[in-house]
Amino acid sequence: MENKKTVNLDMKQYGMVIALIAIFLLFYVLSGGKNASATNINNLIMQNGYVVILAVGMLLCVLTGNIDLGVGSVVALSGAAAAILTIDMKLPVPVAFLAALAVGLISGIFVGFFVAYLDIPPFVVTLATMLMGRGLTYTILKAQTKGPLQPDYTWVGAGFLPTIKVPFGNGTIDLICILVATIASILLILSEIKNINTKKKYGFATNPTWQVVLKIVVILAIIWFFFFKIATYNGIPYVLLLMGVLVGVYHFVTSKTVAGRQIYALGGNAKAARLSGIDTRKVFFWVYTNMGILAAVAGIVLSARNASATPKAGDGFELDAIGSCYIGGAAAAGGVGTIMGAVVGAFIMGILNNGMSLIGWSTDIQKVVKGIVLLGAVTVDVLSKRKKA
Amino acid sequence: MSDIILEMSHITKEFSGVKALDDVNLQVKRGQIHALCGENGAGKSTLMNVLSGIYPYGSYSGEIRYNGEVGQFHNVKDSEQKGIVIIHQELALSPYLTVAENVFMGNEQKSFKGVIDWTKTRTRAKEMLAKVGLENEDINAPINSLGVGKQQLIEIAKAMAKKVELLILDEPTAALNDEESKKLLEIMLELKKQGITCIIISHKLNEISYVADAITVIRDGKTIETLVKGKDEFTEDRIIKGMVGRELKNRYPERTDCKIGDVIMEVKDWNVYHPDDAQRQMIKNISFHVKAGEVVGFAGLMGAGRTELAMSIFGKSYGQKISGSIKIHGKEVHIKTVKDAINHKIAYTSEDRKNYGLVLIDDIKRNMTMAALRNFFSKNGVVNSSEEIVAAEKYKKLMNVKAHSIDQTVGSLSGGNQQKVVLAKWMLTEPDVLILDEPTRGIDVGAKYEIYCAINDLAKSGKAVIVISSEMPEVIGTCDRIYVINEGKIAGELSKEEVTQEKIMKCIMQHNGKENKDGE
């Protein structure tokens, strides 16, 4: 019985991964293999880095049963602030980065205060910060693009880790990539073994071996595919490293810590959470403050990648991030969703965008397709739950 | 005037296997005021919901004859068309709309295809208000600017606008003060003169014996008897006897080898005001104590203030301007938040487990450890999920939670099993004092018995247990000592040896009487 339950739970997670692979294969056929080229795989990561970072923060908001509409504007505002500090005021880049993070922190605290301590609905507060942030960005940039930013700034969004390239086939391959992929593989296998051992120690039922092996094989295949592709290109982008660290940390926080549990409990039933000793105001405050900081991180990455800050930067990012969470299985009512789901959701959106661009569909049509996919994913999710009930 | 307007015969209604109504018969004569009496959960409201079509025709068995015709009501509209209007305990008014708009809500005065005729609305609203003695009321004022008493009267005006023949009032005076109640009763007598039949559900027996022409007593979903004015004895004692006269055999497991020790918790001079209304005092100078190994009951009617008392003690979860002292093990403590309460080893299980006790979409395991997570299942903020699983498995077995695994969502469990999860959740916080608010509400007899056994085990292990219950037999069957609470005050204290249902009821009635005199 226990095993059966585990299978059911995991299937939902895997369903998204399967959808991701299916969409990728579909565009592989449609684009004649273009989307699997090393350059394109690298672009996928670079283009979607900030969406993933925002989706991670947004998931926490979605878990509480709310959203943050202001993140796109905070992305623009923090990027603009950093750009102005380095270009106009000639301040060192690290100072500019800290200032950008401070902008995010302040806007996060601002939202958190109104939401948590004054009980203003998050939709309203973040709609206000969306307008205020955008307006301030236009004001401080005087409605003009600020650039170009120097390489000591742009490395965050466009740079790569050091590489050791050796000849391979027709080109070269980066040994660092291979090394990182190997270490990741070993860590994954070790953690799975540790997991099984803990279960055995406590006498819990374990998943059937074939399932565990299949899971590891699929994950390893994806990891090696990605790393092999980027190894034949320029190596590991800094964005990937940043993404990896953030996803790892937030996955840990949401799934293994008391703080994470409190967010789920609040989203599932705020009244019950309060009567269980959870300070729901504090949880709300930190969730929104955290979103502000992550929006600033995304703002730095975006301005670095574009080598400039524009007043229109980050327009509509909030919707991409929210969409990623929902596609990744989070419930609009709160209490349900995972970081990994949100990341997969972000990549599904990313692969769709990228694939449609490659086969020459206009951005107008792309929006239609994205809308359909979002609605379809959530509808399937809701209907499958209804059947179970 | 002796013809029968309503006859309900052999009405049986089940909720997932539990019989809420069992072969109920009710006859109401035209132009009379007929009262329905019974304990909380006896089935009075269910019967009225059957009559008004809230539980549609076909969802129950039995027959309704109204004005000599068989009534088959599929929804409230059906019954309203026949002139049956029900006014629920919770008022169905839209707070920001005006008095006139509320009077004709769902029954709008139209001039032409959905266009509202405001002149007609206002003039007719005035007429309706005059019928309930509110002729001087401003019909353009928003309804929330009026007091509860007037709102209740406007509900009646609303019913009058629907050409009511049979008016059903469910606990109309529960939220009213004495003056307002009196006015409402006068209006009822006035309506009677106009030929309108009324069915009133009320706990306030003095009011019933004042207005009613006949009283039907319902107990455990069955009709016990119907008392007729002028024919039968019509005193409160007589009604109480009908309401509570049930045999209690082995419904409550005996508690043996349980030593009562020192006082664990002592509350003194506790005062609480309503969270939205700083003038309205909900708890007035209450003092009580519980000892180790003792089960103490808080008896009283709905709205007496028991839940408010418990929640205000439990980390100030209810009310404002809270004053008074709490001593735990003889030491005064200051409990400002639920976290403080948990740290001082107090636990509280809510009467509303679905809304305040559980995260229904989450699994058994996480619900069980929710309150104890910080103190017992984590280190430096990181959850030890293995220990969590061990504890959840242990309590699933201990409490006999019927579920296929601890990963099952609690929303899919039966009420009784959900209640066991709630109990386990608070036992895991290792409390010294457990306050159980309506621990057996809405659960079947078997699960009730298991909950009582759990209460016994808790007392035996030296914990102090407070049971809040509206079911008097339950309080009597499980508790060593009982505080009777009425209108935010302690109306009396009874020991296990002396307590009977009649005594509790009397305690409340006498206290009501005294309060009324004090008020005048």
Q: Read off the pLDDT of residues B34-76 as tens digits, 9 standing for 90 and up.
A: 999 877 667 888 898 899 888 888 888 999 999 888 888 898 8
The domain of B299 spans 263-519
Residue B272 and residue B220 share a domain: no
B395-434 per-position pLDDT tens digit: 999 988 888 888 888 888 878 889 999 999 999 999 999 9
Of B341, B359, B407, the CB nearest to A265: B359
pLDDT at B248: 42
More confident residue, A249 or B516: A249
pLDDT at A137: 96
B509 in any annotated domain: yes
Number of folded domains that form chain B? 2
Rounded to whole angstroms, how far apart are CA atoms B288 and A287? 41
Residue B249 has pLDDT above 70, yes or no: no
Residues of A in contact with B358 (CB under 8 A): 269, 272
Residue B161 and residue B45 share a domain: yes
Residue B117 has pLDDT above 90, yes or no: no
pLDDT at A172: 86
Rounded to whole angstroms, how far apart are CA atoms B49 and B60? 11
* 3 state SS for A191-257: HHHHHHHHHHHHCCCCCCHHHHHHHHHHHHHHHHHHHHHHHCCCCCEHHHHHHHHHHHHHHHHHHHE
Alpha helical stretches, state H, chain A: 2-30, 38-63, 71-87, 93-112, 122-140, 151-158, 175-202, 209-231, 238-256, 258-268, 270-274, 280-306, 317-327, 339-358, 363-388
Q: Domain boundary residue among B244, B276, B309?
A: B244
Residue B274 and residue B232 share a domain: no
Residue A389 has pLDDT above 50, yes or no: no
Residue B245 has pLDDT above 80, yes or no: no
Residues of A in contact with B359 (CB under 8 A): 264-265, 268-269, 272-273, 335
Residue B28 and residue B93 share a domain: yes
**Which CB contacts under 8 angstroms, 24+ apart, belong to B326-329?**
B326/B265, B326/B266, B326/B267, B326/B268, B327/B265, B327/B266, B327/B267, B327/B268, B328/B264, B328/B265, B328/B432, B328/B433, B329/B262, B329/B264, B329/B432
Q: For residues B117, B120, B121 and B126, what is the CA-based torsion angle, rounded to 10 degrees?
A: 170
Average pLDDT over residues B447-460: 88
Residues of B in contact with A1 (CB under 8 A): 404-405
B252 in any annotated domain: no
B250 in any annotated domain: no
Residues of B in contact with A260 (CB under 8 A): 383
Q: What is the CATH number of the domain that holds B136?
A: 3.40.50.300
Residue B271 and residue B238 share a domain: no
Rounded to whole angstroms, how far apart are CA atoms B296 and A265? 31
Contact B383 A336 (CB under 8 A): no
Residue B144 and residue B204 share a domain: yes
Residue B354 has pLDDT above 60, yes or no: yes
Residue B313 and residue B217 share a domain: no
Q: Domain boundary residue among B244, B273, B307?
A: B244
Residue B157 and residue B65 share a domain: yes
pLDDT at A120: 95
Q: Is A124 on the interface with B (CB under 8 A)?
A: no
Residues of A in contact with B382 (CB under 8 A): 256-258
Sheet holding B18-29, edge to edge: B18-29, B4-15, B61-66, B69-70
Residue B282 and residue B191 share a domain: no
Residue B340 has pLDDT above 90, yes or no: yes
Rounded to whole angstroms, how far apart are CA atoms B261 and B464? 9
CATH 1.10.3470 at A2-159+237-388, yes or no: yes
Residue A197 has pLDDT above 70, yes or no: yes
Q: Which residues contact B176 (CB under 8 A, 6 or more apart)?
A: B148, B149, B152, B184
Residue B515 has pLDDT above 70, yes or no: no
B256 in any annotated domain: no
Q: What is the pTM of this model?
A: 0.79
Q: Domain boundary residue among B244, B271, B302?
A: B244
Task: Give the pLDDT band of residue B519 (cuts 50, 70, 90).
Answer: very low
A124-183 per-position pLDDT tens digit: 999 999 999 999 999 999 999 998 999 999 998 888 988 888 888 788 888 889 999 999
B166 in any annotated domain: yes
Residue B184 and residue B333 share a domain: no
pLDDT at A2: 39
Domain ranges across chain A: 2-159+237-388
- Please tell me which residue of chain A has the smallest CA distance to B378: A258
Of the given ranges (A35-44, B180-189, B203-212, B450-459), which has the lowest mean pLDDT? B203-212
Q: How far is A172 from chain B (nearest CA, A)?
A: 43
B347 in any annotated domain: yes
Residue B268 and residue B399 share a domain: yes
Residue B195 and residue B113 share a domain: yes
B428 in any annotated domain: yes
Contact B405 A269 (CB under 8 A): no
